[in-house]
Structure 1
């Protein structure tokens, strides 16, 4: 075998060393899985029960009651009937085309994943806004989480937890949580310093300043982060179906593998409708918060 020309060929690791390197990583991750896999799965059990309960609630409720509840949320966010009409028309079309159950399963998954992302992400964003050193350490991790291909998230969670709802839940949350962290940090940092000086002058404690002034004024940005988190979670629906997560992603996956054009297009449109509904509701609520903040200045 000819010697490589280092001026032309990149001096890469030889095949045997590369195999040994990959084998060492695989064995280390398998050891981690054997040691901590069961404990991690047990930690996610309450969230799994919450998602199963919410999924059964949506599937067991009358269709008109579900539409009425979502329409009420849309009206509460926008105070307008145009968005309500969009919600009702979209859900009626989804149900008429036979995609109701898959849509309810997807809604349950997205709702629980968004709840987890908000509960975990907002406190992390608050901590980042209070420490530049912590932000410098966490931002590269968020960059990796946002730029890594979505399929790559499935590899460690499947090796750790196998197939099913729990690994899907974990993969969706990890993929979707960075925006709410980033925009919470940004919103709190953008609060007017003169307002903070006024709260200090009135003798407010750090806790009162945070929850009474900074978080309320940062809510438009936080809602923008929630909006982006929901969009990224919906984008993960089809990918998560590869590891057994039921919903609109599975018919799309079957359509791709079996070349069912109509099935793929219709279920893809259902995902788009859900994305538009969630996007409009969260954006409308964020604009209302922004107008309220501007009026109170």
Structure 2
């Protein structure tokens, strides 16, 4: 039998050395989680309280009040009776088929994740737009966040914080935040330089240019990023159910493991309904806001 050559077989690291490196890294992470896990968990306690409180608010409020509130918010954002009526009918169908509580849990998770992603993502996007050095630092990080399989996020988070809402929330945010960061950066960088020069000529400070010129002109791109962040957060719902996040993802996971076709189909359709709801409302609000800024009051 011919001997293996580096020309035909890729030269690999010695297996014992590879195992040694893996054991060293694993033990270091375990020691880190044991030393700082409780402190990190305590840091997220206020966020857990807020998330749990918002979830209980949706669950304990009368269903008709929640339905009216969501429909009213949809109309206020879109000014469309057709869209608002479709959302009301979708929520009625979700409740009729026994998925109301799971939908409210998912809605609370997605809402909190989206708000946090916006609060973190837009400032980072602004920093990237204002500094090429910051952009060079964050771009490879965002590349890794967007290309790494979603399941991989769960491993270090669960090892550090265990199973529950906060690990799921962190995993969802990591997975969903890149679009709002990238599109905020892109939107600000695409603002016409002549407009910025004109604002500077009128004596506007850097902060006034950012708030009064750059952000309004970049808003279509920012809203597109927010829209994509919401969609990616919803896509992460089923995966997050694997670490104990309650909601529509858990019945879908149960249907996969037990081959319950109807259960998976109905809960999958409920997730689709939420996705369409968020998508249409955010797009309608962005369109109305853009028309208002252009002087067309709708």
Q: Same fold (TM over 0.5)?
A: yes
The runs of at least 4 aligned residues of structure 1 exceeding 6 Å deviation read: none
The CA distance in 2 between the partners of 1:109 and 1:86, in whole Å, is: 22
Alignment partner of 1:135 is 2:135: yes
How far apart are 1:85 and its partner, in Å? 1.5
Summarize the alignment of residues 139-288 of structure 1 with structure 2, pairs less than 5 Å apart.
139-288=139-288
The CA distance in 2 between the partners of 1:192 and 1:291, in whole Å, is: 19
The CA distance in 1 between the partners of 2:70 and 2:16, in whole Å, is: 58
The CA distance in 2 between the partners of 1:173 and 1:222, in whole Å, is: 17
The farther-off stretch of 11-20 and 168-177 is 11-20
Superposition CA RMSD, Å: 1.4
CA contact (8 A) 1:238 1:248 kept: yes
Q: Unaligned stretches of 5+ in structure 1?
A: none
CA contact (8 A) 1:113 1:172 kept: yes
Residue 73 of structure 1 corresponds to which residue in structure 2?
73
Residue 62 of structure 1 corresponds to which residue in structure 2?
62
1:191 alignment partner, SS class: coil
Q: Unaligned stretches of 5+ in structure 2?
A: none
- Residues 210-237 of structure 1 deviation map (CA, whole Å, 9 limit, x = unaligned): 1122112212211111111111110110
The CA distance in 2 between the partners of 1:232 and 1:17, in whole Å, is: 39
Structure 1 length-normalised TM: 0.96
How far apart are 1:159 and its partner, in Å? 0.4
Residue 118 of structure 1 corresponds to which residue in structure 2?
118
How far apart are 1:3 and its partner, in Å? 5.2
CA contact (8 A) 1:230 1:278 kept: yes
CA contact (8 A) 1:220 1:289 kept: no
Alignment partner of 1:38 is 2:34: no
The CA distance in 2 between the partners of 1:250 and 1:72, in whole Å, is: 29
The CA distance in 2 between the partners of 1:294 and 1:243, in whole Å, is: 46
Structure 2 length-normalised TM: 0.96
Residue 10 of structure 1 corresponds to which residue in structure 2?
10
